[in-house]
Amino acid sequence: MRILLVEDEPDLGAAIKRTLTQQKYLVDWVLDGNDAWAYLENKWTQYTLAIFDWMLPGISGLELCKMLRSHKSPLPVLMLTAKDRMEDKVAGLDAGADDYLVKPFGMAELLARLRALQRRSPQFQPQELTVGNLTLDYGNNIVVSQNTAGNKQEISLTNKEFQLLEYFMKHPNQIMTTEQIRNQLWVVSAEPISNVVAAQMRLLRRKLTNSGCENIIETLHGTGYRLNFTP
């Protein structure tokens, strides 16, 4: 699950990003509205949710909402604002925001609002994703494998391993190129290491193999990877 966070207060932005990352969200954080639109224009489908501060350099959070909706994007938007007057809320909702959080707020409330938005959104994120004998449990942030006898085993994964496995499980039997994986799972230009995908794949596979899930993800040399699944 990828979130675009647009917040120009460095301390608050960093705190939100840290909290969301701990919850296994992948967060792209930008500090002004123009950068935000560069991430969103024609590319909003890569995001599950967006968080816009109202007052931003460049394009305001309110304008970003309007621009998304005028481009027919249904991306759920949570607005952050110091404004708590009723007319401001009405303006924000008219612009297409889905919910509001008035500053200052606690991170627990932010997470609760995001979960509620996900439940209400058309891109509703289910609590579990099962492919073959692997189940991602989003509520508890764990992965469970089940053997043919029905015995379940929890696999302990890092945030990035969880996201990587989720990406494959959402695209079973499809070839995912190294570039696609890198673009999907790593923040743009944050980690310019060419073999980061291969290294992360090795770590994920080792854990899957240790849990009795060998050879689920196939390497197609020079092309990419594929999670093989026979329904």
Residues 86-105 that bind Ca ion (CB under 5 A): none
CA–CA gap between residue 91 and residue 62 (Å, rounded): 8
From the list 8, 32, 99, 137, which residue makes contact with Ca ion (rule: CB under 5 A)?
8
Q: Cβ of residue 59: shortest distance to Ca ion, in angstroms?
A: 12
**Residue closest to Ca ion when measured from CB atoms:** 55
Identify which of residues 55 and 196 has a Cβ nearer to Ca ion in the complex.
Answer: 55
> How many residues sit in the footprint of Ca ion (CB under 5 A)?
3
Residues 113-142 that bind Ca ion (CB under 5 A): none
Q: Cβ of residue 113: shortest distance to Ca ion, in angstroms?
A: 18
CA–CA gap between residue 118 and residue 112 (Å, rounded): 10
Stretch that binds Ca ion, among 4-12, 85-93, 150-158, 162-170 (CB under 5 A): 4-12
Stretch that binds Ca ion, among 5-13, 43-51, 102-110, 170-178 (CB under 5 A): 5-13
Q: Cβ of residue 82: shortest distance to Ca ion, in angstroms?
A: 8
Regarding 53 and contact with Ca ion (CB under 5 A), the answer is yes
Q: Tell me the residue type at 99.
A: D
The terminus-to-terminus CA distance of the chain in angstroms comes to 24
Q: Cβ of residue 2: shortest distance to Ca ion, in angstroms?
A: 22
Q: Cβ of residue 38: shortest distance to Ca ion, in angstroms?
A: 18
Residues 190-219 that bind Ca ion (CB under 5 A): none
Q: Which of 58, 78, 150 is nearest to 120 (CA)?
A: 78
CA–CA gap between residue 125 and residue 121 (Å, rounded): 8
Interface residues toward Ca ion, by CB under 5 A = 8, 53, 55
